[in-house]
Each structure stands twice: as structure tokens, then as C-alpha cells.
A and B are shown apart, each in its own frame.
Chain A
Amino acid sequence: MATYLEFEKPIAELDGKIAELKHVANGGDINIAEEVAKLQAKTEKLLKQTYAKLTPWQKTLVARHPERPHFCDYVAALVSDFVPLAGDRAFADDRAIIGGLGRFRGRPVLIMGHEKGNDTQSRVRHNFGMAKPEGYRKAIRLMELAERFGLPIVTLVDTPGAYPGVEAEARGQAEAIARSIETCLRVKVPLVSVIIGEGGSGGAIALAAGNYVIMLEHSVYSVISPEGCASILWRSAEQAKEAAEALRLTAEDLKQLGIIDEIVNEPLGGAHRSRADTATRLGEALEAALARFDGMDGDEIRRQRREKFLEMGRQGLNA
């Protein structure tokens, strides 16, 4: 059963009618088939209209859609010979961040990212994609491994943020995130990051300080969640819609502001409506992004990344 977002009600109704008609149509009732085709055309038009002008808040909801493809879906679709690697060698394995070696279109890579899970059990297992210090420390370890063997790194970012808990603080959450950012910026192999869903604050940038940063069309990337921002600046989480507008968190805004390098368009109605198609589109973009760094030496790769971040915002933003 598909999950419809609040603003998709008219689409849900049409889909419901189509399903009903299909159900009553036994065999080739031409009238019903015609009616179904008409409704399907209508749905498509409505989807197109709706998704062409999603508000920042609606994009936030799409980015968090429970059926949106997650890290493991992209790995399954795009990576062969995947060898998952676990643990930070100090405390635990944090399944909010998954990573490993694999072959992407023939090229050995290290791929890692946040995994949110797709049902109650797996969401709990992956802690809803909210990593603890051991998660970032695993990420650091894997990035260093990739660097040692000259493998490019691909990170897929999808997190509400770093886990805010007593134990995470006791084990140095802030330090772990800081070191992870530092490692992203230091490695002498290409680092390509993709915001595939929610790019939530420090927990996101910990894996996203890359040479080349891509966003899926309906993903969001922000310093704070719209709800969090609203509750602080508007003193009420009710104002999340206004906060989402003000924060400029959509892919389009961030491309315009010069924060990200590329937007990958999603299929009609969002990634969750055509998961395979989305993975293919992302695959194309990733292949091209990695090819940019072919033949570039390690020092140059690091220098390019540093200069890019140091220059960011210096000329003002094209707001």
C-alpha cells in the first residue's frame, strides 16, 4: 500500500478510483479500460503539476518519504561485489552508517552512507539514520582505508541529523563529527557526495565535505530542520513551513547559492514512485562525477576540495 503525502490527496483519490475500476473490470470491458486510461492520464498530469512546483516544506516531506529509496537500495541497484565493512574498532558497529567496498560500473570504490531503514524493525536497527560517535568513527576508518588503496569514495547522505543522546555525548559526538569532516577534507582520493534524502545538519556534513556534491531533485539540505528552526526563531514548531522557505534548503536553491555542484532530476512524482529509474539516473551522474577526477593526483584532489570550500560564500551568494 503506497503512502501518500498530505498534499497528494487528489492524486491518492485518482489512484484509488483507478484501482477500484481495475478491480471491477473482469476481462476486457472496453469502457472501463478507456476510463482507466483517462484517469491515468489525469493522474500523470496532476503529478506533473504538483511536483513541478513543490514548496520547500513539501520537498522536506518528499525527502523524508518512507518509501523513498535509501542507501541500501542504491547499493543493490548500482554496486556489484559489495563487501560491507563494520565497526569503529573501539566501541561498536553503528548501523546508522553503512559502508563497504564494491564495484561501481567496473570501478572499485568505497561507498558509504546513512541508512534509515524501511520498516519498523530496520528503522530501529539503523536508528533512523541518526549516527552516534562510533558511526562517524567507522566512516573515518573507511575513508582512510580508501585513501590507502587509492579508491574513490562515494557517500550517500540521508539523515535527520546526528543522534542527540546522553551516551553519544559521553563518547564525544562533537569530536567524532569534527574528525569525520576533517577526514573528508584531508583524504587524497576523490570524494563524491550525494544528498539522496535528508541532509540534516552536522550529521550530514560529516560525510558531505566532498570534491563534488550532488543533490537529488527533491532532497533537502539544511543547517537545522524546519521544525527545529521554527521552534527557536518563531517559538513554535507550527511555523515549519515558513522556516523551510527561509532556510533555502531545496536543491534548486543550493545550486543557485553555489553550495552544491549538480542536481539529478527525479522521475515523475519523486524517487519513491520509480525507484529503479532513480537509481539509474543517479548512476549516470556518479559515473560522470568520478570521471572528473581521473588522472588528477592526490595533492591536486585535496587542494581542489579545500579551495572549493574556502571560496564558498566569499563572493556573497546569488540569493
Chain B
Amino acid sequence: MSWLTNFVRPKIRKLVQKTDVPENLWDKCPSCGQMIFHRELNQNQRVCPHCGHHMRIDVKTRLELLFDEGKYERAETPRVATDPLKFRDRKRYTERLKEAQAKTEEQDAIVVAFGTMAGAPAVVAAFNFDFMGGSMGMAVGEGLVAAANLAVERKAALVAVPASGGARMQEGILSLMQMPRTTIAVDQVKEAGLPFIVLLTDPTTGGVSASFAMLGDIQIAEPGAQIGFAGARVIEETIREKLPEGFQRAEYLLDHGIIDMVVPRKELREQMGRIISLLTKRDEAA
């Protein structure tokens, strides 16, 4: 069997979100405070219908909305040695891993999938923020390397969708080494003449932002996403600078010339498909 497992069209899943709202019927928008009917919010891709605030979404929902008709094949990501440093803080790293695996039903913080976006073939490497804050260790690095190889093999664009606080501290120096490793991976896609597109989602910070996630041929961000190198709290605490309004938000990065565009969630698939088609000189969709 190939390492690409055939993936059946995802079933309509119940979105279970933590909420204070009684009986899960209503969600409260953290931005405008409006109460939103839970089903309405999910139908709207978890974007507030009142103010347009983009809430975080889980990785499966992300893949469904990026690929045409929500259909994709999922690629297995390579297995890596668990807990290479035998790391232990207040808890063992192996325990933290097990908890995250149980919670998310995933092996680690990245999912790699293949499909089309508005007709254009693409490999998506999407971070799972629910898995230890989307932190990047060896498994995530290997996932990106595998995604890059798959893109080259399939002559498809590579789309990286980070949602990560940065490095997986429990893997120490090995997590730092994922910065050069992932950089090599995406450069191999570029050298094959294929587009590398980054969709920055909330949040993208630390070692993830300072490596492959800032190296896209095209840099796209979701509205309001927090994107930056140093955490806002670190800046405030250590440098004692007051943070300007909207600091490190997608729109701030756009204003400062760091990204190409901010694209609302519901327009992502079309826009990214259009970009890939133009860059790869694909014929217009019939």
C-alpha cells in the first residue's frame, strides 16, 4: 500500500467546542461580544457574522475548507523517535505527548494532505494548534519534509498552513534544528519550479515564523491572525515597550510590507487556487 492512504470524503462532523454557553446552543464572539447561534457559526466557517472576527478552527475543518468539495487524500507522515532528550519538566514529555494524542487523535502537530484548490493540485501541510500549541519538533519537521517531497513528486504546489506558538521546547536543540530542516524542504519545492504558498493563521510565532513560514513565494494571512517572531508578552516584559494598536496582527504585517495579502476565510480556496494556476500557467478552469 502506498504511503498515501486513500481518504474518503470526510463525514460531517459534530464540532465540539468548549464554551460557557448553556447547552452549546450559542457562542459568544470574543471580539464583538455578540451571541451567535452555534450552528450558524459553524456554517459560517467560524467567522463571526456580525464583526467578521475569525476564530481558530481545527485542522480537519481547515483541510475541508481549503480543498475543492472538502475532498482530499491524507499522506502518512514519517514516524520519528519519541522524546529524544528524555525531557521532563513538571511532567514527562512522553505524558504530554500521550495526552495530546488522546485529545486530538493525531500523532503530532501536523497533517499533510493532497487535493485540488479551485482545480489546481496542491499539497497542504497544516498545523494542528490543539496538539501542544502546534509546536514544532522532529515530527512536524519531518511532516514538512514529507509534504515537500510529495509536492515535488506530484508536481503540485506546496501550501503550508502554520498555527503554532513556535518550537517544541521539550525537544530542545532538535526543535531549533527544524528551522534549517524545514527551510531546506521548502527550498527544494521552489527549486523544482513549484509554488510555495504560506497561509499564516492565528497564531504563527517563534521558530515557525522565523523559518519556512516566512519563505513563501506568496504570503497570505487570515484576518486578525497574530504573526510575529517574539511573543507580545516577551516584548512588553523584557523591553518595556508599549505595543501599538493591532501589533503583530495580519493587517499590521500587510501595512509593514511583510505579507502579500490578507484574505477572508471563505475566499481562501478560490484565491489560492487562482494564484497557483497563474504561477504554474494552468489553463483557466473550464
Contacts and interface: CB of A to CB of B under 8 A. Distances in A.
A162 B172 contact: no
Nearest to B227: A174
Contact of B187 (A171, A182, A313): A182
Interface string B122-160: 000000000000000010011001000000000000000
B196 to A, nearest CB: 12
Contacts of B90: 233-235
Nearest to B239: A165
Contacts of B254: none
Contacts of A257: 84, 173-174
Contacts of A184: 180
B50 to A, nearest CB: 30
A164 interface: yes
Given A202-B207, A229-B169, A316-B84, A223 B175 contact: yes
Contacts of A317: 81, 84-85, 174
B172 A313 contact: no
A246 B239 contact: no
Contacts of B247: 166, 169
Interface string B162-195: 0000010111111111011101100100000000
Interface string B51-87: 0000000000000000000000000000011001111
A259 interface: yes
Contact of A202 (B173, B210, B241): B210
B183 A174 contact: no
B101 interface: no
A259 B252 CA distance: 37
A223 B256 contact: no
A246 B244 contact: no
A178 B88 contact: no
Interface string B232-249: 001100110101100110
Contacts of A186: 187
B209 A313 contact: no
A72 interface: no
Interface residues of B, number: 56
A51 B247 CA distance: 45
A312 B177 contact: yes
Contacts of A155: none
A172 interface: yes
A174 B85 contact: no
Contacts of A97: none
Contacts of A178: 179, 183, 209-215
A174 B173 contact: no
A98 B214 CA distance: 24
Chain A facing B: main interface SS:
helix
B177 A173 contact: no
Contact of B176 (A165, A182, A222): A222
Nearest to B204: A174
A38 B157 CA distance: 72
Nearest to B91: A233
A108 B214 CA distance: 33
A164 B235 contact: yes
B174 A164 contact: no
Given A164-B238, A247-B172, A319 B229 contact: no
B176 A185 contact: no
Q: Which of A166, A173, A233, A313 has the most CB of B within 10 A?
A: A313
Given A172-B256, A185-B187, A316 B81 contact: yes
A164 B81 CA distance: 33
Given A185-B180, A257-B173, A223 B138 contact: no
A169 B85 contact: no
Given A170-B256, A178-B211, A201-B207, A246 B89 contact: yes
A248 interface: yes
B206 interface: yes
A52 to B, nearest CB: 23
B224 interface: no
Interface in A189-203: 201-202
A182 B141 CA distance: 15
A233 B184 contact: no
A199 to B, nearest CB: 9
Contact of A174 (B86, B145, B228, B257): B228
Interface of B: 80-81, 84-90, 138, 141-142, 145, 167, 169-177, 179-181, 183-184, 187, 206-207, 209-215, 227-231, 234-235, 238-239, 241, 243-244, 247-248, 252, 256-258
11 contacts: A165-B239, A169-B230, A175-B258, A177-B214, A205-B177, A223-B173, A235-B90, A257-B173, A309-B184, A313-B138, A317-B81
Given A174-B229, A222-B172, A248-B172, 7 more contacts: A165-B235, A175-B214, A178-B210, A205-B176, A233-B170, A246-B89, A310-B145
Interface of A: 162, 164-166, 168-175, 177-179, 181-182, 184-186, 201-202, 204-206, 209, 221-224, 229, 232-235, 242-243, 246-249, 254, 257, 259, 306, 309-310, 312-317, 319
List 6 tightest A-B contacts by C-beta distance, closest first.
A164-B230, A316-B81, A233-B89, A174-B209, A177-B210, A174-B229
